[in-house]
Structure 1
Amino acid sequence: MTVLRNAVRRSRRTLTAAVLALAVVTGTGGWAAGTTQRAVTGPAPGAAAWRADRTLGVRLPDPAHASPAEVARFFAGLTDAQRQALAARHPLTVGNLDGAPLALRYAANSRALRAERHRELARAADPAGTPQDHQQARKAAARYATLLAPGRRILAFDPRGRGQVAEVHGDLATAQRTAVIVPGSDIDLTTFDRTANPYGTPTGMATSLRRQMAAEAPGVRTAVIAWAGYTTPVGLGPDAATGRLAEAGAPRLTRFLAGLAAIGAPAPAVLCHSYGSVVCGLAVPHTGRGDLSDLVVFGSPGMRRDDVAELRTPARVWAARDASDWIGDVPNVEVLGLGHGIDPTDPAFGARRVPARQAEGHTGYLAPGTDSLRNFAAIALGRYADVR
């Protein structure tokens, strides 16, 4: 009889959890509020031509399988002329090749962006296109022109799907302290640095964080990377409630962090916002020792991990959520593929709690003047005693 009662209780708990998980989407806007996205995975376009290239008389490192450390060793053995020639022939491959030299990636991505811009300008003038085609092409060309503005350091660029990009703010080659921003939903090539709601964008968050780091430690050389290197959910539909896109994005983040380590960059503090924290939760257990110094999640719906121990990282783990963030209304469950599990700010999770009393809403954590921004800067600078 006792066994039967326990089975009934478990069934009730499972049903309750399923109902709560369904509320992750229906209670925050419904399935119709978002569209299903196709995840971009694998190397950028041009990988086949790269693999077939024998101009140097050697096999080039496979973008899909060579580790960033292997890539770094390969480029270290080339002359500058050889590196430049490869970047000229294969800009999309070199520009996205984790472990390749920084300056070479910047140059390759500039070349790739110019090529995409020229392609869109040609499409905008194509008489076979519709007026809508022409308008979309002009818009895309203008977007690429913005990313080509002088002084921008584009560390990754992939035009597939909605577009992916990573940008360095500061001089990563000489930086003493670094950070990486991993954004959440609705971020892509077109929204990467939008002017509306700037502190909800990778560019706005990275700019604000680096400015605060400079204010706190003016003598320290810093760099912050805005990384939009995965396909994010759009809206609050099924993609936001499941881990499908995070599972596709996590290996890309893992490889990106390994690439920073391979070129000798300081281990960064990785700051993960909203759905980006789901990506980080799946990526971090597969990172190498020393690939990151700190993990900060904020506005998180959960990380698909039961506690800090499941992250299997020596990095310090921090979590923040302000009282006005709507994410606090999302049930913290994970069942039947829906939901992302325990709230990382829950003491049971085991993360260090970061105060965010002055932040407002879901995208206000890095707004100037907030305690959360000051605390995030202190963490990125390694000044842990200043987190309060």
Structure 2
Amino acid sequence: MRRYKRTLVAAALATTVVGGTAGWASGSAQQAVTGPPPGSAAWRADGSLGRALPDPGSASPYEVASFFRTLTPGQRADLTRRHPSVVGNLDGVPVALRYEANALTIRAAHDPRFGRLAAPGRRILAFDPRGRGQVAEVYGDLAAARHVAVVVPGSDIDAGSFDRAKDPYGTPAGMAASLRTATGDRTAVVAWAGYTTPVGVGLDAATGDLAEAGARRLARFTQGLAAAGAAEPALFCHSYGSVVCGLAAHEVNATDIVVLGSPGMRADDVADLRTEARVWAAKDPSDWISKVPNVEFAGLGHGPDPAAAEFGARRVPAATAEGHTGYFVPGTDSLRAFAAIAQGSAAQARTTGEGR
């Protein structure tokens, strides 16, 4: 009977989403940016070293890292100058080279949408101007940090909204900066807007197509961190970003997967994620995501609520967070717990909200 009722609810959801959004969602439907970075054809054709360069479309991050270890400083500098868009986005390339390459690409773009990303001191780990633009930025010393965290955002995030002043704790840049500060600047945090996100609350947000493309990119990105010598990260996945993390869970290189304001992870429970990472979930009482039915039917919806006890995730206290984008606000119990998780203090994270 319970399964029958759930199926009826799912069918109602499908009818509501299709009937209520299909008319306008088609206008905002997004095409996922996938595949190797811009400039890959010229990179493949480059014979300056007398040997083939690793293919951006097929070489693993570990193969890329191994290749760069064979190069002299001069050869590395030359490839960065000749092919900045590839060097800056190729997982496995040394971190410092990626910063340098992306600064070159951003300055050469002469695009007012992206100019601020070239400001002195910014550490841009990835930059792809295709589509709405994708970007990843590092807060802290990624190469030397004992602990690393990666923020995976949800809908309406791209290179233009990556670090907007409005609603700062709803942006990956704001989340990452707040988390780093909460750890006493002891954790390096990556704000990763490295996939094509949905725009608005339409069919893209209700389906998993963009999340599937994002999951592949996220898995490769975390493998690239490992290949470059960075510490194994904790992932903090907000809203639709938690769908990405759920689909990537069995492949990502991560110590922890933390979902917040999640519509579901496209998994029935923690075991269904097939991951050895610790899985955490946070949802504050005022988050509108609670009004989204936690079902999946005919490709619509993202499944059970990860914050529900039966899902099996470790619960993150979030009583003092407010709304859908308030989890990283300074002073909240959720941010204190996130900081503990980012620093590897799982026991402290589970008790940080007690007595409040």
In structure 1, how many angstroms separate the alpha carbons of the residues matched to 2:145 and 2:227? 15
8 Å contact 2:187–2:342 — kept in the other structure? no
8 Å contact 1:75–1:100 — kept in the other structure? yes
- TM-score, normalised via structure 1 length: 0.87
- TM-score, normalised via structure 2 length: 0.94
In structure 1, how many angstroms separate the alpha carbons of the residues matched to 2:122 and 2:3? 55
In structure 1, how many angstroms separate the alpha carbons of the residues matched to 2:23 and 2:277? 36
Aligned residue number for residue 160 of structure 1: 130
The amino acid of 1:58's aligned partner reads R
* Matched position secondary structure for 1:223: strand
Q: 1:345-373: CA deviations, max 9, x gaps? A: 11111100111000000000001110000
1:384 is displaced (CA, Å) by 1.6
In structure 2, how many angstroms separate the alpha carbons of the residues matched to 1:167 and 1:265? 15
In structure 1, how many angstroms separate the alpha carbons of the residues matched to 2:16 and 2:256? 32
In structure 2, how many angstroms separate the alpha carbons of the residues matched to 1:52 and 1:240? 39
8 Å contact 2:37–2:90 — kept in the other structure? no
In structure 1, how many angstroms separate the alpha carbons of the residues matched to 2:247 and 2:328? 24
8 Å contact 2:87–2:93 — kept in the other structure? yes
In structure 1, how many angstroms separate the alpha carbons of the residues matched to 2:178 and 2:211? 25
* Matched position secondary structure for 1:151: coil
1:15 is displaced (CA, Å) by 4.0
In structure 2, how many angstroms separate the alpha carbons of the residues matched to 1:188 and 1:13? 35
Residue of structure 2 aligned with 1:109, choices 98, 102, 105: 102
1:22 is displaced (CA, Å) by 4.1
* Matched position secondary structure for 2:28: coil
The amino acid of 1:340's aligned partner reads H
Aligned residue number for residue 90 of structure 1: 83
1:143 is displaced (CA, Å) by 3.0
In structure 1, how many angstroms separate the alpha carbons of the residues matched to 2:18 and 2:305? 17
Residue of structure 2 aligned with 1:79, choices 69, 72, 78: 72
Q: How does 1:98-177 map to 2 (within 5 A)?
A: 98-117=91-110, 141-177=111-147
Shift in CA distance, 94/163, structure 1 to aligned 2, threshold 3 Å? same
Q: How does 1:180-191 map to 2 (within 5 A)?
A: 180-191=150-161
Aligned residue number for residue 270 of structure 1: 235
8 Å contact 2:150–2:192 — kept in the other structure? yes
* Matched position secondary structure for 1:194: coil
8 Å contact 1:23–1:330 — kept in the other structure? no
Shift in CA distance, 210/330, structure 1 to aligned 2, threshold 3 Å? same
In structure 1, how many angstroms separate the alpha carbons of the residues matched to 2:16 and 2:304? 15
1:233 is displaced (CA, Å) by 0.2
**Structure 1 residue ranges without an equivalent (≥5):** 1-5, 118-140
In structure 1, how many angstroms separate the alpha carbons of the residues matched to 2:345 and 2:193? 27
In structure 2, how many angstroms separate the alpha carbons of the residues matched to 1:357 and 1:277? 20
In structure 2, how many angstroms separate the alpha carbons of the residues matched to 1:31 and 1:274? 24
8 Å contact 1:31–1:236 — kept in the other structure? no
Shift in CA distance, 11/316, structure 1 to aligned 2, threshold 3 Å? closer
Shift in CA distance, 76/108, structure 1 to aligned 2, threshold 3 Å? same
In structure 2, how many angstroms separate the alpha carbons of the residues matched to 1:23 and 1:350? 29
The amino acid of 1:313's aligned partner reads T
Q: Quick check: 69-78 or 9-18, which moved more?
A: 9-18
Pairwise CA RMSD: 1.8
1:42 is displaced (CA, Å) by 0.6
Shift in CA distance, 114/169, structure 1 to aligned 2, threshold 3 Å? same
Shift in CA distance, 385/154, structure 1 to aligned 2, threshold 3 Å? same
In structure 2, how many angstroms separate the alpha carbons of the residues matched to 1:38 and 1:82? 36
In structure 2, how many angstroms separate the alpha carbons of the residues matched to 1:54 and 1:376? 47
1:21 is displaced (CA, Å) by 3.9
1:14 is displaced (CA, Å) by 3.3
Shift in CA distance, 12/177, structure 1 to aligned 2, threshold 3 Å? closer
The amino acid of 2:139's aligned partner reads H
Q: How does 1:271-310 map to 2 (within 5 A)?
A: 271-287=236-252, 291-310=253-272
Q: 1:44-73: CA deviations, max 9, x gaps? A: 111111111111011111111111000000
Aligned residue number for residue 259 of structure 1: 224
Q: How does 1:1-388 map to 2 (within 5 A)?
A: 14-23=7-16, 32=24, 35-117=28-110, 141-214=111-184, 221-287=186-252, 291-387=253-349, 388=351
**Structure 2 residue ranges without an equivalent (≥5):** 352-356
Q: 1:129-187: CA deviations, max 9, x gaps? A: xxxxxxxxxxxx33322101110000000000000000000111111111000000000
In structure 2, how many angstroms separate the alpha carbons of the residues matched to 1:21 and 1:208? 37
1:222 is displaced (CA, Å) by 1.9
Q: Percent identity?
A: 67
In structure 1, how many angstroms separate the alpha carbons of the residues matched to 2:23 and 2:102? 37
In structure 2, how many angstroms separate the alpha carbons of the residues matched to 1:355 and 1:22? 34
8 Å contact 2:327–2:335 — kept in the other structure? yes
Aligned residue pair count: 349
1:20 is displaced (CA, Å) by 2.6
8 Å contact 1:24–1:330 — kept in the other structure? no
